[in-house]
Structure 1
Amino acid sequence: MKKWICTYLFFIFWTSLVAQTYRKDEINIEKLIEELFAMQQDDVDFENMYEGLLQVFLNPIHLNKATQEELKSIYILNPYQINSFFEYKAAFGNFISIYELQAIPGFDLQTIYKLLPFVTLEDGSDYGNRSFWKRVVNERDAYFIFRQNRVWETRRGFTAPDTLSNGRVTSRYLGDPNNLYGRFRIQHSKDYSLGFTIDKDPGEQFIWDPDTKRYGFNFFSYHFTLYNQKKWKTITAGDFQAQFGQGLVYGAGFSVGKGAETITTIRRSSIGLRPYTGAMEFGFFRGLGLTYQQKNIDISLIASHAPRDGNVQVALDTLEQEEIFISSLQLSGLHRTPTETAYKDQVRESNFGGNIQFNSLNKQFQIGLNSLYTRFNQPFVRNPQIYNQFEFSGQENHIHSGYFSYNIQNYFLFGETAISKSGGMGSVLGVMSSLSRSVDLSLLWRKFDRNFHTFYGNSFSENTRPINEEGIYLGLNFRPNIKYNWSIYYDQFKFPWIKFRTYSPSKGYEWLTRFTYRPSKAVLLFFQFREESKARNISETENFQSTYQISQGKKWNYVANLDFKINEYWSLKSRVMGSRFEFNNQITKGFAISQDLNADFQKWRVSMRFVLFDTDDYDNRQYIYERNVLWAFSIPALQGQGLRYYTLAQYQINQKLTLWARFSRTIYTDREVIGSGLQSIQGNRQTETIFQLRYQFNR
């Protein structure tokens, strides 16, 4: 019977693919971005999120060995679909074809398309019987990527320096305007991963100078990871990250938050240790990570000693003795000027931590403990400000937490509570549920004290960090059939203590709703509306008297989007988006209109976009995700008046070699100088090109 089902499903799936071609070797990142990040912003680390997504893509989940925790980690399946998956598997046994997914209740074609890049049924048969060296040498998933990009207009930082009246010479960039990036990796899912990443930012010197810790490329990251070595679940050396619980202590990996996907993204998954392959120069451990598995218990240990960029200063104490301290950490990763270069690797950060996790036999219940001890080579002394007096100071911090996850039918309960050395606490408690096949609900409460300190935490929050916040989130999703989908969330929050640009305790709210209509496989239409209310200082008004006066700012965003697939080769995408911002009795507005044309002819592809934008001020800047070369992000902030266009081309030269080229230009009609400081450009246009090559071994 099962073989008949699979044959029938194969026929259905094959006919559906005639209108929509699917390729396993790439992620449709544009569609994921549209759903997970409903409103793109500049304070979100999209690159690190995508790196986490890439780790899941490169290590797909085996359908016959998948756990509920693994399926939750990709934010695609709701509670009803996950339960249906395991009920189907219990009734019919292991999957013999990936096309069986369509027979599972609740799995529509669009869900399956989103799921396919992250799952597999391949075991490799005799793969594990070969020696490690032969497995590495013959691995098909091995590649090297090299990317070069630059802005062609001359920024002020690349011009000749000026001489001031006092004889001092102004600062300029030390290097050339090229951005160079390389990534080498050989890996096999659930077996091993090894590779390195190199990066030189625009303005940085390509120089070998051990005194300033620069060795050609300014950033070099590397890792070597082994999986499933008898009872050793993970052994990783070099650069790595960790995610356990709800992200209060260890919060790396692919985590989202508030978006058009209102249900699955509020929860974090315990994905454990994973190699770090990004180009961000902070937020990772460098050392050794181990996970040992004994029946239902996993024990993980972390030891790290990593350099960090920072401003180290010397002061005299009361006995006129020199005291060395860290005044700030630099997170930009840029080393373009003598000052920025002087910050490079001036701080050493040591981390020692661990995790112990218990999973019940039926995988329905999970409980764990986290601990992390962090020590800097010098004490951290901040420049005292009213808003930061409860921020971390000193030379060491330790943080500990307990977390749980419990599944009962279509209800997923989860939570974590942590306490840092300061005594500050952070807590997250939530539930996801499928009330029926067509209605999903999510609810999350969080509370972070003003003196809660976590350096590697990344839990659900309104702020960019889990500190000084209380809030409650409610999400709903209604899909009566495959053509219609309506999602909405409401998040209410408050900040018990003052913070940067808000010198008074404050509160606010945010809600978003999206209605999606898909009349056919070729057409997708959605409308989205969002409102946000947050307080901030009144600091730029006439007759300004005090920085301690605040006002509630309200912002409205709207989006109308149409995707139309003309045929198997050509597609269109049209969008109108805008905003309205009200603050201190003043109203400003902004909008952007974009049109895309995409062509896909297998060996070569072209994407083009033209955008018109007009915004009154910075608060109304418009963000639109752009297609870019493989594994690169582009979400420009469109502010002022002007137009922007780009063309992206990809050509597969042969089985081993693929080439990408991208040209983009922004032309402003309201200015003659773009940017400020050393980044400023004389003129009204900015042009950027990107070239990328990927060489795949053993193809």
Structure 2
Amino acid sequence: MNKIGFYILFLLLIDCFKISLGQNIPKGEIDIENFIEDIFGMQREEMDYEDLYEGLLQTLLNPINLNKTNPEELKSIFILNPNQINHFFEYKKKFGDLLSIYELQAIPEFDLETIYRLLPFVILEERNKTNASLWNRIGNAKDGYFIFRHRRVWETRRGFTPPDTLSNGNLTSRYLGDPNSLYGRFRIQQSKDFSLGFTIDKDPGEQFIWDPSTKRYGFNFLSYHFTLYNRGNWKAITIGDFQMQFGQGLVFGAGFSAGKGAETITTVRRSSFGIRPYTAALEFGFFRGTAGTYQAGPIQITVMASHAPRDANLQVLSDTLENETAIITSLQSSGLHRTTTEIRYKNRAREKNLGGNLHYQSKNKNFQMGINGLYTQFSQPFLRNPRIYNQFEFSGQNNHIQSIYFSYNIQNYYFFGESARSASGGMGSIMGMMSSLHPKLSFSLLWRDYSRNFHTFYGNAFGEGTRPINERGMYMGLNFKPNIRYNLSFYYDRFHFPWLRFRVYSPSYGEEWFGRFTYRPKRNTVIFMQVRNESKSRNVSDYNGFQSTYRLDQGIKNNFIFNLDHKLDRIWSLKSRVSASTFKFDGKITKGFAISQDLNADFERWRISSRISLFDTDDFDNRQFLYERNVLWLFSIPALHGQGMRYYLLTQYRLNRKLTFWLRFAQTIYTDRDIIGSGLQQIRGNTITETNFQLRYQFNR
């Protein structure tokens, strides 16, 4: 049967059985909350959520063309398993390009749930394809917008009160600016064609001031970029701020990297998507300069150069001849410049980077391999304050790191790996495999080994730690889906830290396992139960009346979650959740729990989201993470600990096709304290109230 005949028959079958995707597939914005729940499962406070969210935004704004894609691209969105990807390309090989997005349902293993999740990330043809000049395309681009956001905590923090006078007559430190947070983003882009924009940001406590002597020019932070795609053999050329992702993230690791969570198969690997414009407001973790990727047959060549400022604590040393030398004792990653001390750190150091990538892809797109290289030089030598646990960390003025990586797809098996070596001689290696053992059973396996002296500044590889250093581990994931109603996901991870770590003054080990059972009794109802167990070593600080920082004990934490999502009708939906935890350490067991109830409504122009939560935890180790809806492209995952109640109300109003407003009110009321926070962040009282206001203006709509 030819392609047209098959397609006509397919449409007739859809009509006969009344399962038209046009009626069922949502055409609006992606349900970020459910997507995050599926991918991540358990929140971790050390995760860089803002940058991760930006990676998701980049993927949504640059959807994958299903008729021109390859296995690497489809794996990058963590939705399709190897079996589904294999069936997709077998279908295309047999019938040719897809004629309609609805045709996805004809591909084996593509159920409606999978298609719902996939739709926001894919298209069938290039958007706004035209022969107009670049400037005309920029002026007429549909994906252009400006966002302005205001955030504020309304209770007075100690940093905004008048300073006290010390015994020596000096005044105590206080914030120099006001408590308002201001954020703006301008961007115009056309998928696979061009992207340009800037991001500006002022944090609470920072001054809005023009002061070249302290490198402050109105807004405290400015990020900008201009990127062109597909100019002849040049696949990408960028100027300004950017990130890069190649291999498994040992050298260049940026973007949407999920790690361990409820999606136990697809998130173990990283994708080589190359150069990506940087648009977040985080003031570290990006390059500033220029980069380009050139296509030469099956080989892509990428080169980059960066010269970026870095916040740093400098110290001046004098030798016996009274020669003074400035050294970097620490790099600051908070991006905050509220006090005179923090302002003194701003842009004190410079960081130069020169690097590149050589990437080969076979003709059938099933095999890829590449080489990475990055040379980094600081403006001053980096000498940390010596501690027992950091003696193998980077020191000096220069670092270079090289790696080789590969990925290979054969039927329903996908193999990948990368090995790198830094200037210190430290090695980092990662090897993994994903497989669909059966149409209903998927399996993943990953091994990693990062030396204690492996130094990578832009790595973001899979691991238990926040950086790929001083860790060895083995991860195994399973996913069993007997039918559309039931799904069981599970992983087990065993890890070892060969050298000392912060708060762990001895070599240590740990393990973690996770399980989630999901039940969908009908299309509008989802129920899941989730459990996570983690065992990790930590110093015991109180031992027989004196401080002992060298005795370890295993901290064992158990998390439990029961969640119910139910859509009442086209307007109203409910979400109920109960979460609880226990923590055992040094012979003591503490507990905590939180319950929350959501009520959401969608009136097309108006959208309303609300929640009320009650929480009670014995200590900080039992803090409860609850993902909350917020204004567009803003993350909110408060860590609730102590006793109290939290609630929020979020409204969204679309005035017209161009202008949309968001307003969010959130408040936490504690019943076990009269002071919240510490230091300059301290609030006298038991209530903390925050508002967010945001508007978005979309051009050419």
TM-score over 0.5 (shorter chain): yes
Q: Matches of residues 602-621 of structure 1 in structure 2 within 5 Å?
A: 602-621=604-623
In structure 2, C-alpha distance between the alignment counterparts of 1:645 and 1:114, rounded to whole Å: 29
User: In the alignment, which residue of structure 2 is the partner of 1:253?
Assistant: 255
User: In the alignment, which residue of structure 1 is the partner of 2:169?
Assistant: 167
Q: How big is the shift at 1:128? A: 3.3
Q: How big is the shift at 1:6? A: 4.8
Q: How big is the shift at 1:4? A: 1.4
Q: Is the 8 A contact 1:9 1:99 kept in 2?
A: no
Q: How big is the shift at 1:438? A: 0.1
In structure 2, C-alpha distance between the alignment counterparts of 1:469 and 1:547, rounded to whole Å: 21
> Are 2:221 and 1:219 aligned?
yes
Q: What secondary structure does 2:130 align onto?
A: helix
> Are 2:123 and 1:120 aligned?
yes
In structure 2, C-alpha distance between the alignment counterparts of 1:578 and 1:23, rounded to whole Å: 35
> Are 2:91 and 1:88 aligned?
yes
> Are 2:24 and 1:23 aligned?
no
Q: Matches of residues 14-163 of structure 1 in structure 2 within 5 Å?
A: 15=20, 18=23, 22-24=26-28, 26-124=29-127, 127-163=129-165
Q: Is the 8 A contact 1:6 1:99 kept in 2?
A: no
* Structure 1 portions without partners, runs of 5+: none
Q: What secondary structure does 1:129 align onto?
A: coil
User: In the alignment, which residue of structure 1 is the partner of 2:414?
Assistant: 412
* Structure 2 portions without partners, runs of 5+: none
Percent of counterpart pairs with the same letter?
A: 67
Q: How big is the shift at 1:27? A: 2.3
Query: Which amino acid in structure 2 is aligned with residue 87 of structure 1?
Result: E
Q: How big is the shift at 1:122? A: 2.9
Q: How big is the shift at 1:321? A: 1.2
Change (3 A) 1:150 1:319: same
Q: Is the 8 A contact 1:9 1:102 kept in 2?
A: no
Query: Which amino acid in structure 2 is aligned with residue 613 of structure 1?
Result: F
Q: Is the 8 A contact 2:25 2:116 kept in 1?
A: no
User: In the alignment, which residue of structure 1 is the partner of 2:633?
Assistant: 631
Query: Which amino acid in structure 2 is aligned with residue 436 of structure 1?
Result: H
Query: Which amino acid in structure 1 is aligned with residue 99 of structure 2?
Result: I
> Are 2:13 and 1:3 aligned?
no
Q: Is the 8 A contact 2:382 2:396 kept in 1?
A: yes
Query: Which amino acid in structure 2 is aligned with residue 209 of structure 1?
Result: D
> Are 2:485 and 1:515 aligned?
no
Pick aligned residue for 2:483 from 464, 478, 481: 481
In structure 2, C-alpha distance between the alignment counterparts of 1:201 and 1:23, rounded to whole Å: 35
Query: Which amino acid in structure 2 is aligned with residue 557 of structure 1?
Result: N
Q: Is the 8 A contact 1:10 1:99 kept in 2?
A: no
Pick aligned residue for 1:531 from 493, 512, 533: 533
Q: What secondary structure does 2:546 align onto?
A: coil
Query: Which amino acid in structure 2 is aligned with residue 117 of structure 1?
Result: P
Q: Is the 8 A contact 1:411 1:431 kept in 2?
A: yes
Q: For residues 339-368 of structure 1, give each alpha carbon's deviation from its aligned partner in whole angstroms, at most 9, with x where no partner exists.
A: 001100111000000000110000010010
Pick aligned residue for 1:447 from 446, 449, 452: 449
Q: How big is the shift at 1:9? A: 6.8
Pick aligned residue for 1:656 from 655, 658, 673: 658
Q: What secondary structure does 2:166 align onto?
A: coil
Q: Is the 8 A contact 2:39 2:261 kept in 1?
A: yes
Q: How big is the shift at 1:320? A: 2.0
Q: Is the 8 A contact 1:39 1:259 kept in 2?
A: yes
In structure 2, C-alpha distance between the alignment counterparts of 1:626 and 1:540, rounded to whole Å: 37
Q: For residues 503-548 of structure 1, give each alpha carbon's deviation from its aligned partner in whole angstroms, at most 9, with x where no partner exists.
A: 0000010000000000111110000001000001001455134211
Query: Which amino acid in structure 2 is aligned with residue 575 of structure 1?
Result: R
Q: How big is the shift at 1:17? A: 5.9
User: In the alignment, which residue of structure 1 is the partner of 2:393?
Assistant: 391
User: In the alignment, which residue of structure 2 is the partner of 1:682?
Assistant: 684
Q: What secondary structure does 2:80 align onto?
A: coil
Q: How big is the shift at 1:569? A: 0.5
Query: Which amino acid in structure 2 is aligned with residue 122 of structure 1?
Result: E
Q: How big is the shift at 1:123? A: 2.5
User: In the alignment, which residue of structure 1 is the partner of 2:492?
Assistant: 490
Q: Which moved further from structure 2: 128-137 or 366-375?
A: 128-137
User: In the alignment, which residue of structure 2 is the partner of 1:183?
Assistant: 185
Change (3 A) 1:361 1:314: same
In structure 2, C-alpha distance between the alignment counterparts of 1:385 and 1:318, rounded to whole Å: 25
- Say how many residue pairs are matched: 696
Change (3 A) 1:609 1:5: farther
Query: Which amino acid in structure 2 is aligned with residue 78 of structure 1?
Result: N
Q: For residues 238-263 of structure 1, give each alpha carbon's deviation from its aligned partner in whole angstroms, at most 9, with x where no partner exists.
A: 00000000000000011111001000
Q: How big is the shift at 1:203? A: 0.4
In structure 2, C-alpha distance between the alignment counterparts of 1:460 and 1:209, rounded to whole Å: 41
Q: What secondary structure does 1:433 align onto?
A: strand
In structure 2, C-alpha distance between the alignment counterparts of 1:34 and 1:407, rounded to whole Å: 28
Q: For residues 155-175 of structure 1, give each alpha carbon's deviation from its aligned partner in whole angstroms, at most 9, with x where no partner exists.
A: 000000000111010000010
Q: How big is the shift at 1:33? A: 1.0
Q: What secondary structure does 2:628 align onto?
A: coil
Q: What secondary structure does 2:156 align onto?
A: coil
User: In the alignment, which residue of structure 2 is the partner of 1:428?
Assistant: 430
In structure 1, C-alpha distance between the alignment counterparts of 2:126 and 2:147, rounded to whole Å: 27
Q: What secondary structure does 2:664 align onto?
A: strand
User: In the alignment, which residue of structure 2 is the partner of 1:574?
Assistant: 576
Q: What secondary structure does 1:435 align onto?
A: strand
Q: Is the 8 A contact 2:542 2:548 kept in 1?
A: no
> Are 2:516 and 1:499 aligned?
no
Aligned Cα root-mean-square deviation (Å): 1.1
User: In the alignment, which residue of structure 2 is the partner of 1:354?
Assistant: 356
Q: How big is the shift at 1:103? A: 0.8
Change (3 A) 1:124 1:15: closer
Q: Is the 8 A contact 1:357 1:367 kept in 2?
A: yes
After TM superposition, the score normalised by the length of structure 1 is: 0.98
Q: Matches of residues 547-566 of structure 1 in structure 2 within 5 Å?
A: 547-566=549-568
Q: What secondary structure does 1:250 align onto?
A: coil
In structure 1, C-alpha distance between the alignment counterparts of 2:351 and 2:12, rounded to whole Å: 58
Q: Matches of residues 375-390 of structure 1 in structure 2 within 5 Å?
A: 375-390=377-392
Query: Which amino acid in structure 2 is aligned with residue 424 of structure 1?
Result: G
Q: How big is the shift at 1:313? A: 1.1
In structure 2, C-alpha distance between the alignment counterparts of 1:419 and 1:9, rounded to whole Å: 56
After TM superposition, the score normalised by the length of structure 2 is: 0.98
Query: Which amino acid in structure 2 is aligned with residue 554 of structure 1?
Result: I
Query: Which amino acid in structure 2 is aligned with residue 588 of structure 1?
Result: T
User: In the alignment, which residue of structure 2 is the partner of 1:304?
Assistant: 306
Q: How big is the shift at 1:402? A: 0.2
In structure 1, C-alpha distance between the alignment counterparts of 2:32 and 2:200, rounded to whole Å: 23
Q: Is the 8 A contact 1:9 1:100 kept in 2?
A: no
Q: How big is the shift at 1:124? A: 4.3
In structure 2, C-alpha distance between the alignment counterparts of 1:13 and 1:448, rounded to whole Å: 54
In structure 1, C-alpha distance between the alignment counterparts of 2:235 and 2:376, rounded to whole Å: 25
User: In the alignment, which residue of structure 2 is the partner of 1:365?
Assistant: 367
Query: Which amino acid in structure 2 is aligned with residue 292 of structure 1?
Result: Y
